[in-house]
Chains A and B, each alone.
Chain A
Amino acid sequence: MTSIGAAVKEPGSSKHNKTGSWRTFKPILDKEKCIDCENCILFCPEGCINKDYDIDYDYCKGCGICAEECPVKAIKMERDK
C-alpha cells in the first residue's frame, strides 16, 4: 500500500488502516470464566467486542478497560508482539 510520497490512490481507504497496530497489550478472554455480563462490550471505547465476545484485534488498541471492568477476571492483558 505504500507509494512514493505516500500518495493514497484509492478513496475511502482509511478502513484499511488497522489501528490495532498501535497496541502494546492484548486482551485475551477466557470464555470458560465469562459470565455473559456484557460489561466488556459496553465499556470497550472502540466497539471491538461483539455479542459473541469475539475481540476484533484489527482495531483493539489494547487499552485494557475490558480487563479492568470484568467482574470475574476472565480477561488477561498480555504483551503483544
Chain B
Amino acid sequence: MIKVISANRAIAEAVKLAKPNVVPVFPITPQTSISEYLAKFVADGDLNAEYIRVESEHSAISAAVGASGAGVRTFTATSSQGLALMHEILFVAAGMRNPIVMANANRALSAPLSIWNDQQDSISERDTGWMQFFAENAQEALDFVIQAYKISENKEVLLPSMVCVDGFILTHTVEPVDIPSQEDVDRFLPPYQPLTYLDPEEPMSLGTFTDPDYYMEARYDMEVAMEGSKNIIREVNKEFEEIFGRKYDLIENYKCEDAEIIIVAMGSICGTIKDVVDNLRHNGEKVGLLKVIAFRPFPKEEIYEAVKNAHRIAVLDKNISFGIGGVLVNEIKAKMDVDASGFILGLGGRDVSPEDIINIINQTRNSTDSGKINWIGLKEE
C-alpha cells in the first residue's frame, strides 16, 4: 500500500512489520517521532512489544542488549548525542553478537550544539562492529530496516545493524512509500531463532570477562563475520527483490559505466546528485554517481569495480576526521589505487544545492592537488 509518509514513519512501519518483542527508546531530535509512532503502535495494540521508557540512550541500548540476550528481537532508535552516549554499549552489543537493529537519524554533534543534519554521529561509530546502511529516501529506510533484521540475525553474521537516515531531510519530509503487507514480510522474515539465550532452566553467562587467552579470537571472529556479511547482504537483497520487487546491493551504481567523473556519496544527498547527473548527461557530459549504501561492511571491491575506469573521482563527506579530512574519501584512498578528491560539505545542516554539486564536478575535473581537503559552502571572509 502506497502512503505519503516521512522516513521516521516509514521506519516505524517497518519495525511494526518486523515485530520486535522489546523496544527500549529514548526520544531525541530528529528521531523523536520514531519513538512516538512506536509508542502509539504499542498502546493501540498494533505492535505486541514491551515498550520501555528508559532514562537515557545508554539505558536504551543496554536494555536492547539485555532483551537480545534473553533471545528476542529488539529495536531502538537514536540520533547524534544519543548515539554518542550509547558508544560504550555499541561495542558490547557487537561483541556479544546481539542482532539488534537501530535507526539513527543523522545529526551533527555538539559543540557548537546543532540539531541539523550531517553524518558525523554514525561515522564516528564505524569501529564498533555495527553494520551501517545509509538510506537515500524513506522507501529505502523502510526496506533497510526489514532487511537489516534478516542480515543481522543470520547465524554467520550475528552483528547489530544501524540504519542511517539524514535528519530532517528524510526524517521529517514526506514522500510516497510502498508499505509491504504483513504476509509478505512474515514470509521474508521468519521469527528470530537465537543461537544462545538466557534461560533460568539452563543458566549461562553472556558478556563475561575474558583473559588474554580468548579475547583476540572473539575479535577475530567479529572481523570474519563482518567480511562474510557482504555475501549474506547480497543474498538477503536478492530474496527481498524476489518478494518485494525492489533491488538493492551494497552500493548503487548510477550511470557510472562510461562516466569520466564519478561522485561517491552516501544518504539523501544522492537524490540531488542523481538530478544533477541526469541534467549534465542531457548536455553530453559523462558523469555518474556511486552511492555507498553499506558503509560497514565496507564494499571496497564493489566501489573499485565501479570507479576504476573514471578519469577523476569526487568523494563527498558529511563528516570530518580532524587532521586527515573526510572519512569516506580516506577509506577509499586507503583501500584502492584511485585518484580521488575529497569534499567536506553539509556539516550541521549547511544546505547542499545542485549548483554545489556542479561546482564539485568542475573542481574535480580541474583538480591539481587531490590531497587537499575541499570545503563546499564555507563562508569565507
Contact = CB atoms under 8 A, between A and B. Distances in A.
B205 A5 contact: no
**Interface residue tally of chain B, by bracket?**
20 to 34
B221 A17 contact: no
A35 B343 CA distance: 76
A-B pairs, top 4 by smallest CB distance, nearest first, are A5-B97, A8-B205, A9-B204, A7-B196
Interface of B: 95-98, 158, 195-196, 202-208, 210-214, 217-218, 221
B329 to A, nearest CB: 34
Contact of A21 (B195, B202, B203, B213): B213
Given A19-B211, A21-B213, A4 B158 contact: yes
Q: Please indicate which of the listed interface residues B158, B196, B205 has the most CB atoms of chain A within 10 Å of its own CB.
A: B205
A2 B195 CA distance: 14
Given A8-B204, A11-B204, A3 B196 contact: yes
A18 B210 CA distance: 11
Contacts of A21: 211-213
A4 B195 contact: yes
Q: Is the interface of B mostly helix, strand, loop or mixed?
A: loop
Nearest to B205: A8
Interface string A1-33: 111111111110100011101100000000000
Interface residues of A, number: 17
Nearest to B203: A11
A65 B177 CA distance: 71
13 contacts: A3-B196, A4-B195, A5-B95, A5-B98, A6-B95, A6-B210, A6-B218, A7-B96, A8-B204, A8-B208, A11-B204, A11-B205, A22-B211
Q: Please indicate which of the listed interface residues A1, A5, A8, A13 has the most CB atoms of chain B within 10 Å of its own CB.
A: A5
Contacts of A1: 214
B191 to A, nearest CB: 20
Contact of B196 (A4, A11, A18, A19): A4
A7 B194 CA distance: 12
Interface string A34-56: 00000000000000000000000
A17 to B, nearest CB: 6
A5 B196 contact: yes
Q: Please indicate which of the listed interface residues A3, A7, A9, A13 has the most CB atoms of chain B within 10 Å of its own CB.
A: A7
A32 B332 CA distance: 66
B212 A22 contact: yes
Nearest to B197: A7
A46 B271 CA distance: 65
B204 A7 contact: yes
Contacts of A13: 205
Contacts of B205: 7-8, 11, 13
Contacts of A10: 204
Contacts of B196: 3-5, 7, 9
A51 B341 CA distance: 72
B221 A4 contact: yes
Nearest to A11: B203
A25 to B, nearest CB: 16
A37 to B, nearest CB: 33
Contacts of B98: 5
B217 A2 contact: yes
Given A1-B214, A4-B97, 18 more contacts: A2-B218, A3-B196, A4-B221, A5-B96, A5-B207, A5-B218, A6-B210, A6-B214, A6-B218, A7-B205, A7-B206, A8-B204, A8-B206, A11-B204, A11-B205, A18-B213, A21-B212, A21-B213
